[in-house]
């Protein structure tokens, strides 16, 4: 519980600079700012104030752009930390993505809140790990008549930047009516509505993280929006295990708020 609260606090520290560190500590379930700061530094090795200063949206954008064509040894510590996460650990082609043209197929949509049944998996974001959760979800939903034309199949992600791979959470979800309750096979949650940037794409399953990073670096960083701390998810146009071509046809849905409020 403490780890999840700390992960939530990172999202708020880096996306909501209008709130004080004390307010964020209390919102995330800590008893006060001093206890929060101590636990935060023990877990992440830096203070909440340094995280807010070094990894807020504008700084993150600048640091990511400075990774292009550089080696880790030539970078400042904060940039080297991002290089380690995205280039070494996530194995994402930063130079290739930064060389590409801006992403243009994006719509700003006011998404409704979504009530979903979900099956959770914890660990690295790999096809082998995620598909069994979707299979279990569909096997539960189909005989209950929930696989209708109105139903949405979703995958809800953590932001992997600040979370160890073995602790990453992914929820395979399907939207459900109010009459359907949790049981021993699935849990139920509400995904908050609000303003989302929606990017439609068709990609190989193995390029999911790359597509998200391309969306962020080549659209969001040049837009009049910044990330919000609500859930990010993708909406599938067919269940992932049923794609005959191996391509995923989906909408990437990024929670956003205006850059200048």
Which tens digit of pLDDT belongs to each residue from 63-80? 898 898 888 888 988 888
pLDDT score recorded for residue 87: 86
pLDDT score recorded for residue 162: 63
Segment 199-223 shows an average pLDDT of: 91
CA 69 to chain centre: 26
pLDDT score recorded for residue 245: 64
What does each C-alpha distance from 59 to 19, 56, 197, 254 come to in angstroms?
A: 18, 6, 21, 19
CA 90 to chain centre: 14
Confidence of residue 198 (pLDDT cuts 50, 70, 90): very high
* β-strand partners of 248: 203
pLDDT digits (tens, 9 = 90+) for 31-54: 999 999 999 999 888 899 988 888
CA 11 to chain centre: 10
CA 162 to chain centre: 11
pLDDT digits (tens, 9 = 90+) for 130-185: 899 999 999 999 999 999 889 999 999 876 566 777 888 899 999 999 999 999 99
Closest CA to 161 of 247, 51, 250, 40: 51
Q: Which residue has the higher pLDDT, 255 or 86?
A: 255
Query: Hey, what long-range contacts does 82-88 have (CB within 8 A, 24 or more apart)?
Result: 82/161, 85/160, 85/161, 86/161, 86/213
Segment 110-136 shows an average pLDDT of: 91
pTM: 0.84
Buried b (16+ CB within 10 A) or exposed e, 202-225: ebeeebbebbbbbbbbbbbbeeeb
Q: Are 53 and 78 in contact (CB under 8 A)?
A: no
Please give the DSSP secondary-structure letter assigned to residue 118: E
**In degrees, to the nearest 5, what angle opens at C-alpha 107 toward C-alphas 256 and 232?**
40
pLDDT digits (tens, 9 = 90+) for 227-253: 998 889 999 998 876 665 678 899 999
Mapped to the 3 state alphabet, what secondary structure does 9-58 carry?
HHHHHHHCCCCCHHHHHHHCCCCCHHHHHHHHHHHHCCCHHHHHHHHCHH
**Alpha helices in 142-237, H assignment, sequence order:** 208-218
User: Which residues fall within 8 angstroms of residue 245, CB to CB, at 6 or more apart?
Assistant: none
pLDDT score recorded for residue 259: 83
**With 90 as the cut, is the pLDDT of residue 91 above it?**
no
Alpha carbons 134 and 121: distance in angstroms, whole number:
10
Segment 204-215 shows an average pLDDT of: 89
**With 90 as the cut, is the pLDDT of residue 90 above it?**
no
Listed range (77-91, 104-118, 132-146, 247-261) with the worst mean pLDDT: 77-91
Q: Are 174 and 233 in contact (CB under 8 A)?
A: no
pLDDT digits (tens, 9 = 90+) for 14-37: 888 788 999 999 999 999 999 999
Q: Are 119 and 136 in contact (CB under 8 A)?
A: yes
Beta strands in the chain (DSSP E): 106-111, 114-122, 153-157, 169-175, 187-191, 194-204, 225-227, 232-236, 247-258
């Amino acid at each position: 519980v403490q780890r999840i609260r700390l992960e939530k606090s990172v999202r708020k520290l880096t996306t909501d600079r209008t709130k004080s560190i004390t307010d964020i500590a209390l919102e995330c379930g800590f008893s006060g700012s001093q206890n929060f700061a101590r636990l935060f530094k023990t877990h992440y090795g830096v203070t909440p104030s340094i995280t807010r200063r070094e990894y807020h949206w504008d700084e993150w954008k600048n640091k990511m752009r400075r990774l292009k064509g550089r080696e880790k040894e030539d970078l400042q510590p904060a940039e080297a930390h991002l290089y380690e996460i995205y280039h070494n650990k996530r194995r994402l082609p930063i130079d290739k993505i930064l060389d590409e043209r801006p992403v243009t197929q994006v719509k700003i949509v006011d998404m409704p809140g979504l009530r979903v049944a979900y099956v959770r998996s914890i660990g690295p974001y790999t096809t082998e790990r995620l598909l069994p959760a979707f299979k279990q979800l569909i096997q539960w939903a189909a005989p209950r008549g929930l696989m209708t034309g109105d139903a949405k199949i979703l995958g809800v992600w953590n932001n992997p930047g600040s979370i160890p791979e073995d602790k990453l959470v992914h929820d395979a979800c399907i939207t459900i009516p109010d009459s359907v309750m949790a049981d021993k096979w699935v849990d139920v949650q509400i995904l908050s509505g609000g303003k989302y940037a929606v990017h439609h794409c068709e990609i190989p399953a193995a390029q999911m993280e790359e597509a998200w990073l391309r969306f962020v670096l080549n659209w969001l960083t040049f837009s009049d929006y910044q990330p919000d701390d609500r859930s990010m998810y993708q909406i599938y146009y067919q269940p992932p295990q049923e794609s005959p071509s191996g391509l995923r046809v989906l909408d990437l849905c990024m929670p956003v708020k205006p850059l200048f409020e």
